[in-house]
């Protein structure tokens, strides 16, 4: 059983009561709001948009089909409750239908996993510049210690 104790600025602290657990957890159960998935329209049709706080630093991005743009926290969270606006008495048609939270104590682990994935999925390729080849006048093709390279990071192929 979980109960929300505090929910401020996209953070929620949850306490889990587990009668089978003898020791409490070492890390806090503070969660940071990472993404808000929104449906606009009605149950007969509509449009989906996702708001993501990619680095969990409060800077939000809006992913709307093929357009990605910066947006405010207010646009991502506060404007997607749905229901009636008391002042205007107008039915809102945008509703957050899924919230994605990341446990604050595991953010560094997630970043390490992402960095490792990037290291293993990409490789660096050094390309010898044509200008160097033109000025190098020795019998071998080039001198690897003095050559001028251009480095590119490329995705490794999945071909077998």
> What span, in angstroms and rounded, lies between the C-alpha atoms of 54 and 130?
40
In this predicted structure, what is the pLDDT of residue 68?
95
pLDDT at 9: 52
- Please state the rounded mean pLDDT for residues 107-112: 88
- 3-state DSSP assignment of residue 110: helix
pLDDT in tens, 7-35: 545 555 555 555 666 676 677 778 888 99
Tell me the whole-structure pTM to 2 decimals: 0.59
**Both tokens of residue 134?**
């033109």
DSSP 3-state of 34 = strand
- Percentage with pLDDT > 90 across the chain: 16
Query: Buried b / exposed e across 39-66, counting CB within 10 Å, b at 16+?
Result: beeeeeeeeebebbbeebeeebbbbeee
Give the pLDDT confidence score for residue 5 in this predicted structure.
46
Tokens of 39: 């449906």
């Amino acid at each position: 059983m979980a109960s929300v104790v505090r929910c401020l600025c996209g953070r929620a602290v949850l306490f889990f009561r587990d009668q089978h657990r003898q020791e409490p957890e070492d890390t806090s159960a503070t969660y940071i709001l990472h993404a808000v998935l929104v449906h606009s329209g009605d149950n007969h049709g509509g449009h989906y948009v996702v708001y993501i706080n990619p680095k969990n630093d409060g800077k939000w991005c809006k992913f709307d089909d093929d357009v990605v743009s910066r947006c405010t926290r207010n646009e991502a969270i506060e404007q997607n409750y749905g229901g009636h606006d008391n002042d205007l008495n107008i039915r809102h048609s945008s509703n957050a239908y899924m919230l994605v939270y990341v446990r604050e104590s595991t953010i560094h682990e997630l970043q390490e996993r992402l960095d490792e994935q990037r290291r293993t999925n990409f490789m660096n390729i050094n390309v010898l510049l044509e200008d160097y080849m033109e000025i190098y006048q020795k019998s071998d093709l080039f001198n690897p210690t003095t050559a001028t390279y251009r480095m590119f990071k490329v995705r490794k192929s999945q071909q077998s």
